[in-house]
Amino acid sequence: MLTTNTAAELFRHLSADKAVLYRSIMDVFAAAKRQYRLQLRPDEVLAEANWPGSPPRLEEVSIALAQLAAWGNLESQPDTAC
């Protein structure tokens, strides 16, 4: 069972300063999960997201992915593909 603090962290992306960015990223992962695609690279997230307005830079997506992992929304694994 999640503690109150942990549960609050899971939903922090909804009220954060960059909530639209975080929500767009989470939507990509939700769609990918429905297709049994469980791992996505930052460039794939950038390409597949429905960005409102102009898309962010790849670096911004990478930073947002790291933040979502820190909050417990996503799990991060090293990319071992060549």
pLDDT (tens, 9 = 90+) of the chain, 82 residues, equals 455 456 666 656 665 678 899 999 999 999 999 999 989 999 999 999 999 889 999 999 999 999 999 888 898 888 777 5
Burial of 64: CB neighbours in 10 Å, binned 0-12, 13-18, 19+: buried
Q: What pLDDT does 15 receive?
A: 58
User: Is 79 domain-assigned?
Assistant: no
User: Is 50 domain-assigned?
Assistant: yes
User: Is 81 domain-assigned?
Assistant: no
User: Is 52 domain-assigned?
Assistant: yes
**Which domain range does residue 14 map to?**
4-70
Number of domains in the chain: 1
User: Is 44 domain-assigned?
Assistant: yes
The runs of H, that is alpha helices, within the chain are 4-10, 19-34, 42-48, 58-71
User: Is 76 domain-assigned?
Assistant: no
Q: What pLDDT does 1 receive?
A: 47
User: Is 43 domain-assigned?
Assistant: yes
User: Is 64 domain-assigned?
Assistant: yes
pTM beyond cutoff 0.75: yes
